[in-house]
Amino acid sequence: MSPEELPSRMRAWEVTGGPDRLRQVERAVPVPGAGEVLVQVEVCGVCRTDLHVADGDLPVHRDSVVPGHEVVGLVAGVGPRTSRFAVGDRVGVAWLRGTCGECRWCRSGRENLCPSARFTGWDHDGGYAEYTTVPAAYAYALPSALPSRQAAPLLCAGIIGYRSLRRTQLPPGGRLGLYGFGASAHVTAQIAIAQGAEVHVLTRGEESRQLALTLGAASAGGPHDRPPVPLDAAIVFAPAGELVPLALTALDRGGSVVLAGIHLTEIPSLDYATHLFLEKRLTSVTANTRADGEELLRLAASLSVRAHVTTYGFEEADRAMDDLAHGRFAGVAVLDIAGASADAH
C-alpha cells in the first residue's frame, strides 16, 4: 500500500476509565515520526496487562489510550530517518516501546529497568486499532515459521514467561511449579518441558488443568494444592498475592519463586522459618529487554512452541477482555483486526 492509498481514518478501541472498560471510536490514522514505522495491524493479543490498564489497577499514563501490546502487522509507512524496515515487512510490536539508552540500567543491558521507559498501550496507543506506530528500533522482525496469530501472544506473554523462567535459575531437569496457567504460563511450560524440566501446574479451572496435562505437565492441581514433589523453582503468574506464601512453602531448600505479573494483590505476612529460611529466594520480573524478545522468538520457532489461541473479531474486543477477566477461555485470546488476511501469514 502506497502512502497515497492509506486511509485517513481508522477504527480503534480506547480505555474508558469506567465500568465498561472499552469503547469503540473512529480516529485519524497516526503518522509515523522520525525513526518510526506505521503498522497496519493484522492481529493483537489480549493480555492481562490490558485488563489492568482498563480496570485502573495500573495508574493512568494516558487518558483514553488504545490498549494492546502483542501486535503483529505489516509496515504500511516509514517515518523520516527510518531504514530498518520497509513497507510490506511483517513486524511485531511489544510492551517495551522506548528507553533513554543513557541511564546506568540501559548501559548495563538492563533496559527493562530504565526509569524513562515507555510502554505500548499504556504511554502510547497500541494495537486494538487498525493502525499503530512504533519506533523501528523497538519492533521485532518475526520468524517466518511463526504464523501471525501464534506470534502475537509471544510478544508479551511469551517474553515475560521466558524472562521469568530464566530468573528462576532452574537447574537442569529441575522441578518447576507454575501458579496460574493463562497466556504466559502455557507458553512457558512448553519451553521448560522442551528443555527437560518437570513441570507442575497449580491453577483454577478444569479446562486450564487439562490443557497443562495435554502440553506435558507432570501434574495439574488447584492453586491452593500442595504439589506432589518439592519444587526447585516456581513462577507465580496469577495476580494473587495469597499464592506467594504457598509457592515459597512448596519450594525445596535453595529454591526460587519469581513473581511474573505487573500487578499483584497484597501479599500476606511471611514467616521467616517457614517461607524464606534455607536460602530460598523471592524475586520479581519487570518488563523485558529487546534481547529477551529476540531470544524468545528464535527459541519458540525452533521448539515449535504453539499458543492455545481463542480468536475474537475486532468488534468483540470488549467481550474478549471480559472473558479474560472471568477466565472463560484457556490459553490466550487474540483479536483478528484484519480479518481473513491474517491467515496468510
CATH number reported for the structural domain that contains residue 255 in this entry:
3.40.50.720
Burial 246-262 (b: 16+ CB within 10 A, else e): bbbbbbeeebbbbbbbb
- Listed residues 269, 284, 299: the one ending a domain: 284
- Per the structure, the count of domains in the chain is 2
- Looking at the domain assignment, is residue 295 inside a domain? no
- Residue 196, pLDDT > 60, answer yes
Looking at the structure, tell me whether residues 199 and 253 fall in a common domain: yes
Percent of the chain predicted with pLDDT > 70:
97
C-alpha cell at 124: 502510547
- Residue 273, pLDDT > 80, answer yes
- Looking at the domain assignment, is residue 214 inside a domain? yes
Distance between CA atoms of 335 and 22, rounded to whole angstroms? 14
pLDDT of residue 5: 82
CB 230 within 8 A of CB 252: yes
Looking at the structure, tell me whether residues 241 and 165 fall in a common domain: yes
Distance between CA atoms of 154 and 162, rounded to whole angstroms? 9
- Rounded average pLDDT over 150-154: 97
pLDDT of residue 338: 92
- Residue 3, pLDDT > 70, answer no
Which residues constitute the domain of residue 242?
Answer: 159-284
- Residue 342, pLDDT > 50, answer no
Distance between CA atoms of 78 and 136, rounded to whole angstroms? 9
Looking at the structure, tell me whether residues 14 and 123 fall in a common domain: yes
3 burial via Cβ count (<10 Å: 0-12, 13-18, 19+) = exposed
Looking at the structure, tell me whether residues 254 and 202 fall in a common domain: yes
Looking at the structure, tell me whether residues 18 and 48 fall in a common domain: yes
Looking at the structure, tell me whether residues 125 and 163 fall in a common domain: no
Looking at the structure, tell me whether residues 96 and 45 fall in a common domain: yes
Mean pLDDT, all residues of the chain:
95
- Rounded average pLDDT over 32-37: 97
Looking at the structure, tell me whether residues 194 and 105 fall in a common domain: no
Looking at the structure, tell me whether residues 132 and 38 fall in a common domain: yes
- Residue 30, pLDDT > 60, answer yes
